[in-house]
Amino acid sequence: MNIVLIGFMGSGKSTVANLLSKLMEIPYIETDELVFQKTNTHNMNEVFALGGEEFLRQIEGVIAKEYASKANIIISTGGGIVLNKSTLDDLTHPSGRVFFLNASFETIMERLAGDKARPLLKQSVSDVKKLYDFRLPLYMNYADEIINADIFSAVEIAAKIKVRVSDGF
Ligand code: S3P
């Protein structure tokens, strides 16, 4: 079974994946890192320069297919992974538990203040909020479990996930 972490940019997926990987002694991957490897880039600005968001989604889809047969890994996803159902389906194949790290828009804005690495944050705050509002039901819909990422620390979230999945491994 794979453990798949979803959530908006800045919700803490990478930090939690890293901690959980140590806690459970299973490997983790980051879809963003795999995108960089596959496209010979170093950051999302370079990926977007190659073909914009559409290109990123295509590469995410290809990566998800490659990982479709792998089992027992933790997958930290890019915030837009929920935009293509088939990508998420592949990442949870043959079995996976999806955890949504649910952070409020305010928390996210605080955490990502001054961030230059995320092309989608180059829009106005109200446009980022629109993106957040549009995505929220998608995260909710795909989540097997929703974790409040405002009140729990990354360490606490990792511990919770470990407890929730310990029967499945
Ligand atoms: C994106 C989130 C980013 C990255 C890219 C697009 C998104 O990942 O994949 O900049 O569409 O929300 P993080 O969620 O790790 O920031």
DSSP letters along 107-167, please?
A: HHHHHTTT--S-GGGGS-HHHHHHHHHHHHHHHHHH-SEEEETTTS-HHHHHHHHHHHHGG
Beta strand pairing call for 96-102 and 28-30:
unpaired
9 lines ligand 1 (CB under 6 A): yes
| Strands laid side by side in the 96-102 sheet | 28-30, 74-76, 2-6, 96-102, 145-148
| Cα dihedral 113, 45, 139, 68 in deg (nearest 10) | -140
Q: How far is the CA of 51 from the centre of ligand 1 (A)?
A: 15
Q: Rounded to two decimals, what is the model's pTM?
A: 0.97
The confidence score (pLDDT) of residue 89 equals 95
118 lines ligand 1 (CB under 6 A): yes
Question: Side-chain half-sphere of 165: how many Cα atoms within 13 Å?
Answer: 27
Q: How far is the CA of 10 from the centre of ligand 1 (A)?
A: 9
Measured by CA distance, the residue closest to atom 16 of ligand 1 is: 9
Write out the chain's pLDDT in tens, 169 residues: 899 999 999 999 999 999 999 999 999 999 999 999 999 999 999 999 999 999 999 999 999 999 888 889 999 999 999 999 999 999 998 889 999 999 999 999 999 999 999 999 999 999 999 999 999 999 999 999 999 999 999 999 999 999 999 865 5
80 lines ligand 1 (CB under 6 A): yes
Mean pLDDT of the chain: 96
The confidence score (pLDDT) of residue 88 equals 95
Distance spanning both ends of the chain, measured CA to CA: 7
Please state, in angstroms and rounded to a whole number, the distance separating the CA atoms of residues 74 and 26.
7
Nearest Cα residue to 61 out of 40, 39, 85 = 85
Q: Is 38 left (phi over 0), alpha (psi -120 to 50) or beta?
A: alpha
Task: Pick from 30, 34, 44 the residue to mutate for probing ligand 1's pocket: most ligand atoms within 8 Å of its CB.
Answer: 44
> In terms of DSSP H, where are the helices of 25-124?
31-39, 44-66, 85-91, 105-111
Q: How far is the CA of 7 from the centre of ligand 1 (A)?
A: 9
